[in-house]
Amino acid sequence: MVKKAIIPNKGDLMKKHLPKLTMFLGVLLVLVLYDNFSLRKINKPPAPEVTVGGKKVEAYPKEYTKDEEVTVISYKKPKEQTPTVNPRTKIKVIFKDKPETVRITEGVPYFEEVINQEVNNRAGERTFLIKAKWEDKKEATYEIPVNVKETVPNQDLLAQSEGEHSLFTIGPNTDEEINQYDLQINQMHGYETLDQAKLDYPELKLDSETLYILFNYRKEVYRSDNLKEFTTFLKSYEP
């Protein structure tokens, strides 16, 4: 008598081995996720605590170098509004793992400006960069997007850094007469006509075809419609 071989159907085989297959795939998934998590943890830069004028703001990691391996980090810009900060306020950066150097810069067209850990008078949407270096050759770059508030009229006319000055003039070019004085003037706003100057800066209450106004980092310092009077003031002016 010939015995017939009983061949299990495919459905039975699947039912039999499905638990083992599911377990295998689950273990494999856990290993992959753990590996990715570990890799992200290794390549994640130290998180700084950043405040601007005492207000906490977010610092988003942009690039991280460790063991000579560079990791470029992309982040999604927050849905909430960019934090608003006041001008002329300090940027304070604290790391638990203190870096050897911390450099705060601002990327602007054509050049990178180094700032003295302070938000200057330029109002509007701005992005500051933190560049930190550690003794073990780790390096990290972070972005701080903020909206700098305009707290005084014509804030753009003020000097951009403490100890510097800005000059506003109406009339003929007077750079040669003014530049001979030992005064740090970081920007000059010159107008040929009173009408155009009044159109751009009505709050200045301009009323002379020839005018010279000196600003420091915080306010208007002096104005005169006479060049001789203005240069006489500069001779005796002590910032």
For 190, the 3-state DSSP assignment is strand
User: Which band of pLDDT confidence, cut at 50, 70 and 90, is reported for residue 149?
Assistant: very high
Domain made up of 155-236: CATH architecture: 3-Layer(aba) Sandwich (3.40)
> Looking at residues 205-214, what average pLDDT do you find?
94
Highest mean pLDDT among 7-21, 72-86, 94-108: 94-108
pLDDT digits (tens, 9 = 90+) for 150-183: 998 899 999 988 889 999 999 988 777 777 777 8
Q: Which residues of 125-151 are buried (b: 16+ CB within 10 A; e: fewer)?
A: ebebbbbbebeeebbbbbbbbbebeee
Point out the least confidently predicted range of 34-38, 53-57, 113-117, 176-180: 34-38
* pTM for this predicted structure: 0.70
Which sequence spans correspond to the domains of the chain? 49-148, 155-236
CB 211 within 8 A of CB 171: yes
